[in-house]
Amino acid sequence: ETNTLPFQPFENQQGDILRMEKEHQVLKEQLREAEEKFEQLQSRSLEEVGALEELLKKSIEETEVSQNELDWFHQDSETQMKKWQQEKKENRENLKALKGTAKKHSDTNERYLKTIDEKDKQYNVCLNTFLETSNQFANEKGKLEELIKKSQGDSQECEKRAVRAEISVLQTWKETEIWKLKGSIAKAEGNLRMLKALSSSASAAPVLKSQIDSWEIFMSNVKKQLEKVEAEYEEKIELVKNGARNCLSKVEVVDLPCP
């Protein structure tokens, strides 16, 4: 009879205990899985609740800010409304004053129009007189321009003649001074030839050497003076040719004494 009959009172049929144990294990496993799922759901729910609470807190803050902004907007609107009403009142007063000013200007404009008509008549009279006088002056102006043109031609011709005369005078002065200086050089050269000829004798050489040196120095100075005079006169002539004035003056020539 061992293990062949139900174990009372726990079994009604053979194997009820084993079946119950198996069902108990299955239920425990399901309970464990349900607890895990519950924990996961609870954790996710807590996270979602935290996020929703944070979102709710943010929404409340934004609502408070929006309410403050709305209050400020109402205050600003009231201020702008009062300001607009004041400006409307001032504009109405200004419009009234402008209408009065416009009427005054209109009356003044009518007076000015009458005055302008009178001035136009006076202007036409003066214009006719001016045109007659202008025609007379135009005729006289034409005659004067002809005279001026002729005078300018004469003046240019006189200037050319004056320039030619100044150049001629300067050229004459230059040639005169050059002739004088070249004469002094020729005289010095003649004296030097004579002195050098006389100094060929041994007895006269020491006596005449100082005189020969003096004449050579004199001739050198005269040649320098000649170059200076010629250059300065040429410079004056070029200045006159280029239109310069007040150049008609002699070049200063140093009178070198003969030895």
Query: In angstroms, how far is the first alpha carbon of the chain from the final one?
Result: 189
- Is pLDDT at 31 greater than 90 in this prediction? yes
Give the pLDDT band of residue 253 (cuts 50, 70, 90): confident
Res 20: pLDDT: 82
- Whether residue 259 contacts residue 218, with contact meaning beta carbons closer than 8 Å, is answered with yes
* pLDDT tens per residue, range 107-135: 898 889 999 988 999 999 999 999 999 89
- Is pLDDT at 203 greater than 70 in this prediction? no
pTM across the whole model:
0.42
The DSSP output letter for 15 is: T
- Is pLDDT at 6 greater than 80 in this prediction? no
Q: Which two tokens stand for residue 214?
A: 């003096």
- Is pLDDT at 205 greater than 70 in this prediction? no
* pLDDT tens per residue, range 67-108: 888 889 889 989 999 999 999 999 999 999 999 899 889 889
Please state whether the peptide bond connecting residue 9 to the residue before it is cis, i.e. omega within 30 degrees of 0: yes
* pLDDT tens per residue, range 166-202: 889 988 988 998 898 889 889 888 988 888 887 776 5
Distance, CA of 53 to CA of 75 (rounded, Å): 33
- Is pLDDT at 52 greater than 90 in this prediction? yes
Q: Which two tokens stand for residue 104?
A: 């005054």
Distance, CA of 92 to CA of 78 (rounded, Å): 21
Q: Which two tokens stand for residue 105?
A: 């200007």
Res 27: pLDDT: 93
* pLDDT tens per residue, range 127-168: 999 999 989 999 999 989 999 998 888 888 888 888 888 889
DSSP code string of 65-110: HHHHHHHHHHHHHHHHHHHHHHHHHHHHHHHHHHHHHHHHHHHHHH
The DSSP output letter for 200 is: T
Distance, CA of 196 to CA of 111 (rounded, Å): 114
Res 259: pLDDT: 80
Distance, CA of 45 to CA of 230 (rounded, Å): 124
Q: Where are the beta strands (DSSP E) in the chain?
A: none
Mean per-residue pLDDT, 11-20: 72
Res 204: pLDDT: 60
Mean per-residue pLDDT, 2-21: 70
